[in-house]
Chain A
Amino acid sequence: MKIFSYLLVLQQVYCFAPIALTRRHCSQLNAEYDFDVAIIGCGVGGHGAALHARGQGLKTAVFSGRDVGGTCVNRGCVPSKALLAASGRVRDMKDASHLESLGINVEGEVTYDRQAVADHAKNLANTVKGNLENSLIGLDVSVIEGRGILAGPNKIKDDQSGKIYTAKNIILAPGSIPFVPPGVTVDEKTVYTSDGALNLDFVPEWVAIIGSGYIGLEFSDVYTALGSEVTFIEALPMLMPTFDREIAKQAERMLIRPRAIDYRLGVFASEVTPGEQGKKPCTIKMIDANTKEHVETIEVDAVMVATGRVPNTKDMGLESMNIETNRGFVAVDEKMRVKTSADGEVIDNLYCIGDANGVMMLAHAASAQGISAVENICGREHVVNHEAVPAACFTHPEIAMVGLTEEQAVERAEKEGWTLGKSQGNFRANSKALAEGEGAGIAKVLFNKETEKIVGVHIIGIHAADLIQECANAVEQGTTVRELSMMVHTHPTLCEVLDEAFKGAVGMSSH
């Protein structure tokens, strides 16, 4: 599954321009246009752009396409966190030996109400969606219900009313939809993408997950906690192909091997036929990824398709501006300005952010790109440093990362002629982690030995997603491991795992 694709950004990037104490609003309204900024799409990216645009005093409209909150809030990160939170507790409470080591006994069987867990996810999504919509209305953003369609320079058509709106600047933020490989029939009941999986219509005895990226991994965490057995089907010859290899190995040891999971590597699910719950299983035919020969057929209760996402850029009028996409992805420059094609011209006053440009398919990356686009609209040049954007996978325990994988770093160091340093902190040696009985995991800091700047950090262990921020900030600010090693970390906290790694990087001992 493709998650990252980095823009080749400048090594030293712009941070926010020196902040003028009295930052001027950049209202540009003139009678010519209905809005200063119109945003197509109301996911996390569009929402972030809208809030920042209003903050700059720009007259702003958002075409929500009847999907305020977008994928993340309604069908992605947010409801999946609800499922992970509930199932994670089930897992904890069923882990008698772990509880016993803390002196706790759970008497009787730990049970859950599937529908109530599913409702928790649904309610959470609705709450977050409501908050998001209210914040737009509260800030006086015009929320237009229809889907926005480009109708030429500065023009957007509302597909619901047919009305044409004009805007000086247009930001495309249409997001993405799950990718379904050819041969796979999705009925969203027994064969489903993440969209259907979040409904948790039933807990299958055996579920196959096609793709072992973030989404597949998180759902394997949910399913195994609720009692399902999981089979991963991965086209590449390794599990979690986008992860740092060392982290992937650790993840395999913590999240795959001890659980009711097996896997097939190097195979395509060439034909997936939906079943009928309780009556007919789903059939998956697998072929070898290289030879294309049939290798195995399995019959499972449910199939989750987690093979990545494709841009939702069809039928949005891109042709009216002569924009050519690459498999649906809209090409942009580093300021998020749309280009007619990968090596085409920059189109003025047209921006594309989020999953649709494929630079980094993460909600917070989309939001950062939206803010950056608005900065550029206001004439303050800004470029997002994607190597400082952290990412996390919310399994138990979590995996988090920022910057390059070790494999990428080795390559980069060789190409650019610097020495790669590596230092590791261990959860096993951390008091807080041991207090929790969660000593498994590592934090790995990759840095340039000459400049002592961080090029990548990878953490697997309890609360990794909350630990990565310090590292992301350090990458963004260019803080060196030497500076970090002298910064005081709270004792006893999990942050000391990083403290150990920072200190180790400069030859100090932390304990």
Chain B
Amino acid sequence: MPALSSTMKEGKLSEWLTSEGSPISSGDSIATIESDKADMDLEAFADGTLLKILVEEGETAKVGEPIAVILEEGEEEVELMKLIEGGGGTEPVVETQEPASSSSPPPVSASTEPQTPHTKVYMPALSSTMTSGKVVSWEVDESGTVGSGEPLLTVESDKADMEVEHLGDDGFLARICVEEGASCDVGEVVAVIVENEEDVAKWDGWMPGASVSAPSPSPASPAASKPAAAAKAPSASSPAPSGGRVIASPLAKKVAKDKNIDLSQVTGTGPEGRITVSDVEGFTAGSPPKKKSDTPPVSSWKPANGVVAATPMARALAKKSKIDLSTISGTGQFGRVTEADVKSALGESPKKKKVLPGVPAVELPSGFVKYSGMQSAVSTNMEATLTVPIFRVSSTIEMNSFNKLYASVKPNGVTLTVLISKAVSIAIQKHPIMNSRHDSNGGIYYNSDINIANAVALDGGLITPVMKNTNEKSLEELGEEWRDLVSKAREGKLKPDEFNSGTFAITNLGMFGVTAFDAILPPNTGTILALGATTEVIRPCEECVGGMRKVKEMTVTVTCDHRPIYGSDAAIFLKTLKEVMENPEKWGVK
């Protein structure tokens, strides 16, 4: 963070003008800094690549603190990343690192891209609506020779099968990344062609996306756009829906060509559906299928070869969001892709919602957001539970005595979670089946330890820290263990053993006032216990004055795997749990 004035102590990063991974040349403005007096652009004074942004937009940094790391040419990214992660926070601003010692050999693994002269072949967009393509057949075998202009593979798009030609120099097909019959998204690498035959072997086993800097399908990579653009030209004249041939009279073809009409869009009325001149003329004069009604008639204009039909803002947004413009159909003038088209392709609503007068606008999140690692794990685990046959049993537990016990042990750092976990483990000791799980070898797997997993909601995720051997530990010990687990969970520092070793799970939504609910069984667990809120109710009571009394109650529900555990097991377990929780004086703790 530079000092932009003599009085400046800290600066706010108002805008990054480049993004991580972007190349930078000396003198480029890379960020806008807001000082106490003015906004100023920060210029890079070295060529390289912006490796890591350390201060995000809107954040503030003290003068002299590093705000980003630039990777100079020849530097080892890995080395520098280590440095950043190791907390290189005292380094100067736009710091540069001398090239790492050249003695260390380049790591050889499947994830590294062999440094040989090569061309990557990308899945081309064969039509404006095509987003993915299937490789029908490879016309050349791996390690075979490929000549410029020769057919390389046949691709099945949403509309037709088409041959894709090799456009680069002659070479050897080193690696087929997408096998026959397999599909991939437009812009993904389908093959690698090398210049020299001896390099073919080096690409053996290489897969795109595995390398540290994955080849992006963005239009920034020139090779990606080349096949797409080239493949488009033939598509204008030859393909027809559902793989058929376009049949048109010669004059119709000529008129269509003159008027830049895509014959595949024209419906033929001649013999056997042949397209006649009048069909083509009717298409021009009358009604091409319109995509949008609120713009002036979009002519059937087809952009010239090599012209990217997209407005400046559409281009900028597409580049930023790494989306291939050729996959987006345009609704602008002359079929041009507009910013709104890109936004809708990205799943964002193009326009701001109309707001009722006097009601403050609420910005609702919209569109696709990729799962975080933790969310992906939850998603996978949840899907896996669909194959597990489950049942649920509920019971209501009177909490008056339990709450008294809780009040007495709370000062010792014992939380409700800990206390309930303890009660559950006492009940489990009497019904070990509840602590078992299904084993795929066709049997019950009994756990000798009672490890209670409690679900904890995190910002954007969920995790289940595990208190181990709860039956053998004192409440105070458990209290300390749980505190430790929770703080680790919040920092994301739980070890796998600390969140996946549970033998019995508990989840609690009572604090939100939920009266009762049931939970989904986590993998490798036989039972999960769901706790509702404690509520006050009036119950009949013959001995009581007035014939009723006020009690505190909590509804609990167990979800069990019906393969090892049966309904009666669960019912008896709940009965025991009820007894344990309603009579805490019998626990042996104070």
**A: which residues have CB within 8 A of B?**
107-108, 204-206, 229-231, 249, 253, 257, 260-262, 278-281, 283, 296-299, 301, 426-429, 440, 442
Contact = CB atoms under 8 A, between A and B. Distances in A.
B37 A231 contact: no
Given A206-B333, A299-B309, A253 B39 contact: yes
Max count, chain A CB within 10 A of own CB: residue among B39, B303, B306: B39
A426 B38 contact: yes
A283 B305 CA distance: 12
Interface of B: 17, 29, 32, 37-39, 41, 296-297, 299, 301, 303-304, 306-309, 311-313, 315-316, 332-334, 336, 338-339, 354-355, 357
Nearest to B298: A278
Contacts of B41: 249, 253
A283 to B, nearest CB: 7
19 contacts: A107-B355, A108-B354, A205-B332, A206-B333, A206-B336, A229-B311, A229-B312, A257-B17, A260-B312, A261-B312, A278-B297, A280-B299, A299-B303, A299-B309, A301-B333, A426-B37, A426-B38, A428-B39, A440-B39
Contacts, number: 72
Given A205-B338, A280-B299, A262 B316 contact: yes
Contact of A283 (B37, B304, B316): B304
Contact of A205 (B303, B316, B336): B336
Given A260-B312, A299-B309, 9 more contacts: A108-B354, A205-B311, A205-B333, A205-B336, A249-B29, A260-B339, A261-B312, A262-B312, A428-B38
Contacts of A230: 312
Contacts of A442: 38
B306 A297 contact: yes
B313 A229 contact: yes
Contacts of B297: 278
B6 to A, nearest CB: 11
A398 to B, nearest CB: 17
B220 to A, nearest CB: 15
Contacts of B311: 205-206, 229, 260
Contacts of A206: 311-312, 332-333, 336
B333 A298 contact: no
Contacts of B336: 205-206, 299
B312 A281 contact: no
A297 B299 contact: no
B39 A281 contact: no
Contact of A297 (B17, B304, B313, B333): B304
Contacts of A427: 38
A299 B299 contact: no
A231 B312 contact: yes
Contacts of B312: 206, 229-231, 260-262
B38 A281 contact: no
Contacts of B32: 253
A205 B310 CA distance: 11
A260 B315 CA distance: 11
Contact of A299 (B38, B304, B316, B357): B304
Contacts of A205: 311, 332-333, 336, 338
Contacts of B309: 299
A270 to B, nearest CB: 15
A394 to B, nearest CB: 22
A297 B303 CA distance: 10
Ordered nearest first, which 5 A-B pairs have the shortest CB separation?
A: A262-B312, A229-B311, A426-B37, A205-B333, A260-B313
Nearest to B352: A96
A206 B308 CA distance: 13
A298 B307 contact: yes
A205 B311 CA distance: 8
Contacts of B307: 297-299
A296 B229 CA distance: 14
A261 B339 CA distance: 12
Contacts of B17: 257
Nearest to A100: B361
Nearest to A441: B38
B2 to A, nearest CB: 15
A494 B382 CA distance: 63
B33 to A, nearest CB: 11
A279 B338 CA distance: 18
